[in-house]
Amino acid sequence: NGGSMSEETCYALAREVFRHTSSYDAAIARYLATTAGGDSGLPETLMILAGREQVLRYGENPHQRAALYGSFGSIFQHLHGKELSFNNIVDIAAAASLVAEFDEPTVAIIKHTNPCGVGSAPTLAEAYAKAFATDTKSPFGGIIAVNRPLDMEAATAINQIFTEVLIAPDFPADVLQLLEKKKDRRLVRLTGDLKKAIGSDIRSIPGGYLVQDADPIGGAGEEFRTVTRRTATAAEERALRFAWKVATHVKSNAIVYAREDRTVGVGAGQMSRVDSARIAVAKAAEENLSLQGSVVASDAFFPFADGLLEAVRAGATAVIQPGGSIRDEEVIRAADEHSIAMVFTGIRHFRH
């Protein structure tokens, strides 16, 4: 060009220069804003600095454009299969966050961000069998996450059904060789610490954004206080803690029936808490799973005794919930009348 740049090149360079300098200025402004957040601990001005990592085929539905921003790929390494979709990525985050709650070998099967089943056991194969038994229909085409390197025994069991995405901290070579035979299955290695990677929860609304602290993995300071005459047995207490961890990852209104280390019924996303309880019971009945002697977790308080009485009729013997209703005493009396052990956590876990 005779020693000069074309107008097109100048525009391209200008875009890159201003993108870079504006990002640098925004980083400084964001840091200074965090030092002046006031009593809320949130910045006066919301600034999001995230480069585009991937243009996605489409969004939640085919008519919606979508792209992935940030450093998701540095935490979740895509090893095999078709490119991750918008819905895959949302489900991956949900599944990985759930199994991160547990120290024991744990498997979670996810559909539309809700757990179909969750199980913990000395081995992943046993944990998968427990999770799958909760709901044997819904896992087809679902997302499975494990919190240990995936061994051959568990991989062989999982390989018997079609799974959209499988997430694990690692896949040994022989396991990869087995699982890669199904070309459409996506394999994702979790390489980062989710407890450190999850920051604020940001949602767009008409006219602005809502920002909140993310509900932390590993609990939010629950107190686990017995409020009934009967105290939970050691086995019931273990089951209650298990059910509570799962319930915090189920869409509200959430009801989870569990035994010591496995779910036996999940009711999610209903406008009525009683309806969620009934759905959980119906799902257990479909799988011929007895709820006699099970425990129940509710993500929010029972506004009336009717939700608790549904659990009693199903055969549950212990309940865990946040408490905080103006009718707590009514619910506690109902629990005492049926010799139910009930624990209040003091912390609600709505998930919308």
Mind listing the pLDDT tens digit for each residue in 163-186? 999 999 999 999 999 999 998 899
pLDDT of residue 219: 77
For residue 65, what pLDDT is reported? 97
pLDDT at residue 34, as a whole number: 65
Question: Is the pLDDT higher at 31 or at 309?
Answer: 309
What is the C-alpha separation between 125 and 132, in angstroms, rounded?
Answer: 11
Is the Cβ–Cβ distance between 141 and 112 less than 8 Å? no
Give pLDDT, residue 30: 72
Q: pLDDT digits over 135-162, tens only? A: 999 999 999 999 999 999 999 999 999 9
Q: Taking 90 as the threshold, does the pLDDT of residue 6 lie above it? A: no
Mean pLDDT in residue range 29-55? 76
What is the average pLDDT across 50-67?
94
**Domains in the chain and their CATH numbers?**
7-49 (no CATH), 54-195 (3.40.140.20), 225-344 (3.40.140.20)
Confidence of residue 36 (pLDDT cuts 50, 70, 90): low
Burial class from Cβ neighbours inside 10 Å (0-12, 13-18, 19+) for residue 172 reads: middle
What is the reported pLDDT for 109? 98
d(Cα 114, Cα 276) in Å, to the nearest integer? 13
What's the pLDDT band for 301 if we cut at 50, 70, 90?
A: very high
Q: Model confidence over 231-282: pLDDT tens digits?
A: 999 999 999 999 999 999 999 999 999 999 999 999 999 999 999 999 999 9
Sign of the dihedral defined by the CA atoms of residues 66, 72, 74, 75, in that order: negative
Q: Is 59 helix (H, G, I), strand (E, B) or coil?
A: coil
Mean pLDDT of 206-223: 87
Given a cut of 60, whether residue 13 has pLDDT beyond it is: yes
Mean pLDDT for the chain? 92
Q: Counting beta carbons within 10 angstroms of the beta carbon of residue 226, is it exposed (0 to 12), middle (13 to 18) or buried (19 or more)?
A: middle
